[in-house]
Chains A and B, each alone.
Chain A
Amino acid sequence: MNSNPENGDRLFELLAKQPEEAEPERAPSRLKAKLLTSLVQKQQESGPLRTLAETRANGYGLCVFEDLWERVTSAEGAQSFNCCSLCHARVLAEHWETAPIYWGHCPYAAFGKK
């Protein structure tokens, strides 16, 4: 190892150029769940979410609870309601890496899928 600082610099510059791990580390699904929750909360601060009907029309599937909610409500305000805020699936996903959520179209369940 050379005592010349410039050579020291060169060595560390080479170290920094070493390839990163081939596979990027996956973010824990708990973190993804928390990210989604905080983003949706932020979105709600500036007005209602897109309605469930619009979301469905946009090609996204609704989960069993959203589907039910969409069928039984008609007012636009109600249609923008964030069902996940009351859903136990969200709570489970924010605390467990592989939460036992088995119904489809739940984004929290999708985060836990490897």
Chain B
Amino acid sequence: MVRPGDEGERNAKSDYINQMSQGPQEAYEAQESSAGVNQLADQDLVAEVLRKDRKATAEFVARCADHVYAYVRRRLIPRTDLVDDLVQEVFLAAWENLDKFRGDSPLRSWLLGIARHKVEDHYRKRLRELPFRDEGEDSSEEPASSLDLEETLAKRQAGQRTREILKMLPEKYALILLWRYWEKRSLRDIAVQIGRTEKSVERLLARARQQFKKRWNEQQS
């Protein structure tokens, strides 16, 4: 520990004065780069966070927040207004369960597992809340009007356009498509989770696919 009068303190003071003479931004950069900011292994970092080390906790946030945020944002389309709250829930749940982290997988993957559960909770909750036209509707899919989707897929250019269309779709359609295909949940699973019949989920999914394809073709034309 550096105490007043120590040689360490004098060195620290002289470093600080040198850094301040460079201007505040440069001083800041210099201090950060000379900080020897710990690049701890995941398990060591977790141990430090569990000991309630505030700086390790900051490192934990810095290390994982971008990945969790990107994942949650993509899965919450079009409700990006909810992303911050959900990311916060993920980190608080992570803190509650951090003692269970064994280091079998990278810390980021472990957090993404929690994020996945939180996103599924969101899908379940929203699909239960949203109005659900169920019976007597024609859910047959649009006949083939264009092969554009297959062509684009073949060229592997579909990612950006898919995200744009998911953002434009009504929320329930985006949710059901994401849950079924991106999260790879079965119709049966989804039906159980939201308290609907498998048939009605299938109809919703068919309408969602139809709307997606319609917008895809509209964008193309």
Report whether over half of chain B's contact residues are helix, strand or loop; otherwise say mixed.
Answer: helix
- Whether the pair B84, A12 counts as a contact (CB closer than 8 A) is no
- Which 8 A-B residue pairs are closest in the complex by CB-CB distance? A104-B31, A107-B58, A27-B69, A102-B24, A60-B55, A24-B70, A18-B159, A16-B181
- Closest chain A CB from B190 CB (angstroms): 13
Residues of B within 8 A of A (CB): 1-4, 19, 24-25, 27-28, 30-32, 35-38, 48, 51-62, 65-70, 73-74, 84, 87-88, 91-92, 95, 140-147, 149-150, 153, 156, 158-160, 162, 177, 180-182, 184, 202, 206, 209, 212-213
| Contact with B74, one of A15, A20, A42 (Cβ below 8 angstroms) | A20
Chain A residue nearest to B90 (CB atoms) is: A35
Contact call B52/A43, Cβ cutoff below 8 A: yes
Residues facing B in A1-39 (CB within 8 A) are: 1-5, 8-9, 11-16, 18-21, 24-28, 31-32, 34-36, 38-39
In the complex, the answer to whether A2 meets B144 with C-beta atoms within 8 Å is: yes
User: By the criterion CB–CB under 8 Å, are B53 and A58 in contact?
Assistant: yes
In the complex the two chains form, what is the Cα distance from A61 to B140 in whole Å? 63
CB 8 Å contact bits of A84-103 with B (1 = contact, 0 = none): 10000000000000000011
Could you list some 9 contacts between A and B, CB below 8 A?
Answer: A15-B162, A20-B70, A24-B69, A27-B65, A32-B62, A34-B84, A39-B91, A107-B61, A110-B62
Given A84-B54, A102-B27, A18 contacting B65 (CB threshold 8 A):
no
B57: which of A39, A53, A70 is its contact (CB, 8 Å)?
A39
Q: Which residues of A contact B (CB under 8 A)?
A: 1-5, 8-9, 11-16, 18-21, 24-28, 31-32, 34-36, 38-40, 42-44, 47-50, 53-61, 70-71, 82, 84, 102-105, 107, 109-111, 113
Q: Which residues of B contact A2 (CB under 8 A)?
A: 141, 144
Q: How far is A25 from B54 in the complex, measured between Cα atoms in Å?
A: 25
**CB nearest to B153 among chain A residues:** A14
| Distance of A9 Cα from B159 Cα, bound (Å) | 17
Query: Considering only CB atoms, which chain B residue lies closest to A52 in the complex?
Result: B54
Contact call A1/B141, Cβ cutoff below 8 A: yes
Given contacts A19-B156, A31-B65, contact A104 B54 (CB under 8 A): no
> Across the interface, which residues of B come within 8 angstroms of A31, CB to CB?
65, 69, 84, 87-88
Shortest beta-carbon distance from B103 to chain A in Å: 19
Alpha-carbon distance A21/B74, docked complex (angstroms): 10
Are B1 and A57 in touch, CB under 8 angstroms? Answer: yes
CB-contact partner of A3 in B87, B140, B156, under 8 A: B140
Question: Chain A contacts of B68 at CB under 8 A?
Answer: 27
Q: Is the CB of B35 within 8 A of A1?
A: no
